[in-house]
């Protein structure tokens, strides 16, 4: 079973070294293989200058953690754009100087029939911008993509419980209100 060392593990390694433990004993304490500790010691090694101006090799958990995090960031495949400096310069010019969007840059390459060492998509350009690969271009410097829709204030209308059918009872003729004719009384059912 493989296990990445944590910050706490690195502090335990430093403590074990100060106690005078051998790397094998530290490995047993942390339940890892001996080579894991040796690699970790190499990762966190630095040269310490003593007060008498002599130097000695020491282990720093801070340095080891920093190098570990840098290595994590460096993981993954190589960049698609690689050494295609012409494409990189073209993209930086179009987006940085001329205000193009990544989609417009890809469209411009196709429209002009330009060929570079690498074919690149809009999504890849956005990923490279997020990683900071293009000089002076960030998400904030891009034009907004898509049109913004205007927000309208909604006007609430009160709806009647039922839609009125026929004429209202308040608008009946006067002869019906007199109640002289049979059949025009409310009680005639």
Residues 117-151: tens digit of each pLDDT? 889 999 999 988 888 888 888 888 787 755 566 67
Q: Which residues contact 114 (CB under 8 A, 6 or more apart)?
A: 90, 108
Query: What's the confidence (pLDDT) of residue 32?
Result: 93
Higher pLDDT, 142 or 50: 50
Residues 146-185: tens digit of each pLDDT? 556 667 777 777 766 665 667 777 777 777 777 777 665 5
Choose among 76, 181, 85: nearest CA to 133: 85
Query: What's the confidence (pLDDT) of residue 64?
Result: 94
Stretch 39-43: mean pLDDT: 95
Cβ atoms of residues 71 and 47 within 8 Å: no
The CA distance from 45 to 62, in Å, is 10
Between 49-53, 73-77, 92-96, 118-122, the lowest mean confidence (pLDDT) is in 73-77
Block residue for tokens 């209202």: 168
Stretch 55-83: mean pLDDT: 86
User: Rounded to two decimals, what is the model's pTM?
Assistant: 0.45
The CA distance from 74 to 46, in Å, is 22
Cβ atoms of residues 57 and 3 within 8 Å: no
Dihedral sign of CA atoms 180, 183, 185, 188 in order: positive
Per-residue pLDDT at 90 exceeds 60: yes
* Domains assigned to the chain: 7-73 (1.10.10), 85-141 (no CATH)
Q: How many CB atoms lie within 10 A of CB 183?
A: 6
How much of the chain exceeds pLDDT 70, in percent? 86
**Could you give the maximum distance between any two Cα atoms of the chain, in Å?**
127
Query: What's the confidence (pLDDT) of residue 122?
Result: 92
Cβ atoms of residues 12 and 30 within 8 Å: yes
Cβ atoms of residues 176 and 188 within 8 Å: no
Between 6-20, 84-98, 140-154, the lowest mean confidence (pLDDT) is in 140-154
Higher pLDDT, 77 or 11: 11
Cβ atoms of residues 95 and 52 within 8 Å: no
Q: Which residues contact 26 (CB under 8 A, 6 or more apart)?
A: 12, 13, 16, 17, 37
Dihedral sign of CA atoms 64, 65, 70, 74 in order: positive
Query: What's the confidence (pLDDT) of residue 147?
Result: 58
Mean pLDDT (the chain, rounded)? 84
């Amino acid at each position: 079973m493989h296990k990445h060392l944590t910050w706490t593990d690195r502090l335990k390694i430093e403590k074990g070294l100060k106690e005078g433990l051998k790397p094998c004993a530290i490995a047993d304490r942390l339940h890892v293989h001996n080579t894991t500790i040796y690699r970790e010691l190499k990762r966190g090694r630095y040269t310490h200058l003593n007060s008498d101006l002599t130097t000695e090799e020491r282990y720093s958990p801070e340095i080891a953690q920093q190098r570990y995090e840098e290595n994590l960031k460096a993981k993954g495949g190589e960049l698609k754009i690689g050494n295609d400096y012409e494409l990189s310069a073209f993209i930086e010019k179009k987006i940085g100087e001329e205000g193009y969007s990544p989609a417009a840059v890809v469209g411009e390459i196709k429209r002009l029939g330009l060929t570079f060492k690498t074919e690149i998509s809009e999504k890849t350009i956005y990923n490279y911008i997020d990683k900071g690969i293009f000089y002076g271009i960030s998400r904030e410097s891009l034009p907004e993509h898509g049109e913004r829709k205007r927000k309208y204030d909604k006007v609430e209308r009160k709806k009647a419980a039922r839609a009125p059918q026929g004429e209202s009872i308040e608008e009946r003729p006067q002869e019906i209100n007199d109640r002289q004719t049979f059949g025009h009384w409310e009680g005639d059912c």
